[in-house]
Amino acid sequence: MSGLLALIGGGEWSEGCSVPRALLDASGSDEVVLLPTGSAYENPGKLVARAVDCFTALGASVQECKVLTRPDALVAETADRLRSARFIYVAGASAMHLRSVLKDSAVFDAILEAWTNGAVLAGTNAGADALCDPMVDSRGGAFTVGLGVVSNLAVIPRSNTWSHDKIHRTVELAPKGISLVAVPECTALLRAPDGSWSSTGEGEVSVYVEGKPATLADLTADG
């Protein structure tokens, strides 16, 4: 058993989005620990400020965990802090940078330990992409190695900003045995502690298995 996993298409801190409230309720906590890792070179402070505004309105606090570089991810004190968290957000715009910082690190091991012990783990935008294995390279829709919180699953975050042709090409490129889910903004693909899949938010996810349209019940991802 593990905690709830949320793979979010992005935009969840925008006004009117129901995803933050749902995840906060699931965590049973009033504190969110946020890693803005994927936006290390794109004004991470602005990303953090949006999260603070959103969760303050919901009666919760946001604690920034400044893991922006590879050395940051090796700090034992940071890992200890994450190990006891009940709600962890991994965010940002660059899945490649996020992966390179966190892979095989003390911080990522602590994130996994917290999730295994029941914490809510949310990845948004590049965070959703990188937590899977494989992950989608948004520059061209190809596939590459991800962090593998769940395997045999890839997601397209912010899929509402992709053209139909680009999504179609990505579906065709998916390796054999890989499920692919297109997740629009303000929408989350959820893996419950019992391993079942659902979605929540303002949009609808699109599921593809073996290159064909499918349903959430058809997902074969491994957590």
pLDDT tens digits, one per residue of 148-190: 999 999 999 999 999 999 999 999 999 999 999 999 999 999 9
Report whether 187 contacts 204 (CB < 8 A): yes
Q: Is residue 32 part of a domain?
A: yes
Q: Which domain holds residue 84?
A: 5-218
Residue 220's pLDDT band, with cuts at 50, 70 and 90, is confident
Classify residue 177: in a domain, yes or no: yes
Helix, coil or strand: residue 189: strand
- Residues 34-57 have a mean pLDDT of 96
Say if 192 falls within a structural domain.
yes
- Counted domains in the chain: 1
Whether residue 181 is contained in a domain is answered as: yes
Question: What one-letter code names the amino acid at 133?
Answer: D
Task: Specify the long-range contacts of residues 105-109, CB closer than 8 Å, at least 24 apart.
Answer: 105/70, 105/73, 105/74, 106/73, 106/74, 106/75, 106/76, 106/78, 106/79, 107/35, 107/67, 107/72, 107/73, 107/74, 107/75, 107/78, 107/79, 107/82, 108/73, 108/147, 109/79
C-beta separation of 82 from 107 below 8 A: yes
Size of the chain, expressed as the number of residues it contains:
223
Tokens matching residue 161:
């900003």
Q: What is the mean pLDDT of residues 23-32?
A: 97
pLDDT at res. 52: 97
Kindly state whether residue 187 falls inside one of the protein's structural domains: yes
Q: What is the CATH number of the domain that holds 94?
A: 3.40.50.880
Is residue 58 a part of any domain in this protein?
yes
The model's pTM is: 0.96
In whole angstroms, give the CA distance from residue 223 to residue 121.
12
Asked whether residue 140 carries a pLDDT value surpassing 90, the answer given is no
Residue 223 in any domain: the answer is no
What's the average model confidence in pLDDT over 123-152? 93
